Structure 1
C-alpha cells in the first residue's frame, strides 16, 4: 500500500475511533475521569486492538507514572514499517508520563476487554461504512 494511502486510511480510522469512544469502551478504572473533554481517557487497549486489526504490526506497552509512582499501563501500536502510532496519548495530564516500552503479544482469552473492544470495533465499522443508498 502506498504511504499516502496508508496515511489516509489511518486518518479515517482515527476519525472513526474518536466518534466511537465512550464511557462504555473505556477501562473501568478510568470511567470516573472519562469525559467528552477527554474522550481518549482509558481507551488505549481497545484502540490498539482496533488499529492492530486494520494495520497489523506490534503492540507496545509502557507504564503510566504519576508523581513518581507507576500506576497503570499505556498501550500503543508499532506499524509493520516501525512507525509508532499512539492515538490516545492525549489522555494524559501534565503530572502523568509514560515510561519504558516493551513489545507485547495481543491479549487473547476472555477478559473485561472483550466487551469494550467488541463495542468499539462495531462502532468503528459502522462509522466507516458508506451510507446506504435508496
Structure 2
C-alpha cells in the first residue's frame, strides 16, 4: 500500500529536493522549472495513481507537461514553473513517455533527494 498522500507535505519536500541534479533547467528563482517529468515519475513510483500530460508551449513548439492523478485527484507539483497554470487536458501517459523527457539519472537523483527531504 502506498504511503498517505499529503499534497502540502509533498510540495514542501519537493522544494527541498529539486536541484540541477534533477533538471538541467533548474533555477533558484524557479525551482520547479523543467522538473515535471522526473517529479511525475517519482510521485508515481511512491504514491501510484496515474501519469497524465497536457501540451504546453516550449521553445516555439508544443511539448508534453507531465503531472499526476493520485487518489482520484489531479496533482501538478510543478505548476509553479508557469506564470499561469496550463489548460490541463488530462491525457493519459506512461512511464516510458515521461522518461523520454528526462533521464533515469535525474529521476534517481530526485527520488533520493525526495526521500531524504
Per the normalisation by structure 1, the TM-score is: 0.71
SS at match of 1:63: strand
Query: Separation in 2 of the partners of 1:125 and 1:19?
Result: 10
Q: 1:10 to 1:93 in 2, by over 3 A?
A: closer
Written as runs of structure 1 = structure 2, the 5 A alignment for 1:1-134 is: 6=4, 9-26=6-23, 28=24, 31=25, 34-65=26-57, 70-80=61-71, 82-94=72-84, 97-98=86-87, 100-107=89-96, 112-127=102-117
Contact 1:63–1:70 (8 Å) recurs in 2: no
Extract unaligned runs of 5+ from structure 1.
128-134
Structure scoring higher RCO (CA < 8 A, sep ≥ 6) equals 2
CA distance in 2, matches of 1:74, 1:98: 11
Instruction: Give the number of the structure whose alpha-carbon radius of gyration is greater.
Output: 1
Count of aligned positions: 114
- Structure 2, unmatched stretches of 5+, are none
Give the drift of 1:98.
4.4
> Cα 1:39–1:122, aligned 2, differ >3 Å: closer, same or farther?
same
Query: Comparing 96-105 with 16-25, which one deviates more in the overlay?
Result: 96-105
State the TM-score, normalizing by the size of structure 2.
Answer: 0.80
The alignment yields a C-alpha RMSD, in angstroms, of 2.8
> CA-to-partner distance for each residue in 1:26-46, whole Å, 9 max, x for gaps?
1x4xx2xx3211100000011
